[in-house]
């Protein structure tokens, strides 16, 4: 009797360790992705004097949500099956300033050698019927642990502030409403999504116009800054002035 109890206790202990390891690997994958995104953000700020990322949110799906998804999709309830089929356990949402930033950022992420792109769903070029827009990437990244290397799926959603505003509120409006949503409401939500699209397009146009203006003005401004640096009337401060000065010397 005592040996049986001991066996059960050991099995439970092993199961607990396995579950903790399973969930931890997703947390580590998110830590790695967050570091990568942070590096891109900082480097972009220094080199281009511009930050395309407004904010980043990440989460590990709760065990309850994982089990719910396994149930609704009809997957087998085992760790191997969950690992293979539920690819959004680790999720990152990046909100960008402008439409063009989304594709720039997606390209920079996809070009990283240790990131394997599994799937790319472009709900911006092909919005969902309800009006939902966002760029979704499913990637796999290696996580190195004490005794093994795991390749973990991460879902990355990249969108603009307007897309995020719409999606967050749409989610709130539908949240916990299990009955059919009235057609009129669906139409109005779709119209709201179209307004968000127009706003994104307008802001993108303004962004491009301003970029061109800065390029023309920038040369003269930087040049006079550089002249002041050479004549010693402008002090160098780290790191932007050093970068500006080095870039002028290279050019």
Hey, what are 2's tokens? 């005592």
DSSP assignment of 28-71: HHHHHHHHHHHHHHHHHHHHHS---EEEEEEEEPPHHHHHHHHH
Write down the least CB distance from residue 170 to ligand 0O2, Å.
5
Catalytic-labelled residue, pool 2, 155, 180, 188: 155
CA gap 34, 126 in Å, rounded? 27
Q: Which is nearer to ligand 0O2, 141 or 159 (CB)?
A: 159
Question: By C-alpha distance, which of 99, 95, 102, 119 is closest to 167?
Answer: 95
Token pair in block for residue 138: 């499913």
Q: Please, what is the minimum distance in Å from the beta carbon of residue 90 to ligand 0O2? A: 11
CB of 133 to ligand 0O2, least distance (A): 9
Q: Could you say which DSSP state residue 146 is in?
A: S
Cβ distance 114 to 89 under 8 Å? no
Q: How far is the CB of 219 from ligand 0O2 (least distance, A)?
A: 43
Angle at the Cα of 202 from the Cα atoms of 41 and 96, rounded to 5 degrees: 20
Q: Which is nearer to ligand 0O2, 105 or 193 (CB)?
A: 193
Residues at the site binding ligand 0O2, with contacts judged by CB under 6 A? 88, 91, 121, 128, 130, 132, 136, 167, 170-171
Q: Which is nearer to ligand 0O2, 25 or 136 (CB)?
A: 136
* Least distance from ligand 0O2 to the Cβ atom of residue 59, Å: 8
Backbone dihedral region of 230: left (phi > 0), alpha (psi from -120 to 50 degrees) or beta?
Answer: alpha
Residue 170 annotated to the active site: no
Q: Closer CB to ligand 0O2, residue 15 or residue 169? A: 169
Q: Which residue, 72 or 146, has its beta carbon nearer to ligand 0O2?
A: 72
Q: In what order do the strands lie in the sheet with 135-144?
A: 53-60, 90-96, 149-160, 135-144, 116-122
Q: Which residue is nearest to ligand 0O2 (CB)?
A: 132
Residue positions annotated with a catalytic role: 155
């Amino acid at each position: 009797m005592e040996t049986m109890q001991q066996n059960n206790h050991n099995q439970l202990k092993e199961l607990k360790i396995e579950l903790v390891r399973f969930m931890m690997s997703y947390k580590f994958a998110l830590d790695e992705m967050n570091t990568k995104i942070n590096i891109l953000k900082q480097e972009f700020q220094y080199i281009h004097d511009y930050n395309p990322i407004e904010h980043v949110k990440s989460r590990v799906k709760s065990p309850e949500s994982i089990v719910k998804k396994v149930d609704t999709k009809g997957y087998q309830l085992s760790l191997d099956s969950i690992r293979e089929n539920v690819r959004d356990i680790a999720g990152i949402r990046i909100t960008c300033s402008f439409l063009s930033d989304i594709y720039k950022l997606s390209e920079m992420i996809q070009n990283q050698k240790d990131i394997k792109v599994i799937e790319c769903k472009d709900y911006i070029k092909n919005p969902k019927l309800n009006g939902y827009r966002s760029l979704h990437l499913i990637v796999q990244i290696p996580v190195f642990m004490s005794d093994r290397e795991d390749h973990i799926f991460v879902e990355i959603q990249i969108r603009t502030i307007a897309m995020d505003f719409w999606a967050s509120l749409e989610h709130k409006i539908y949240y916990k409403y299990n009955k059919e949503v009235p057609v009129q409401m669906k139409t109005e939500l779709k119209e709201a999504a179209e307004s968000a699209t127009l706003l994104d397009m307008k802001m993108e146009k303004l962004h491009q116009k301003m970029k061109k203006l800065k390029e023309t003005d920038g040369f003269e401004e930087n040049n006079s800054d550089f002249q002041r640096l050479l004549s010693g009337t402008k002090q160098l401060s780290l790191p932007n002035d050093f970068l500006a000065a080095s870039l002028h010397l290279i050019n």
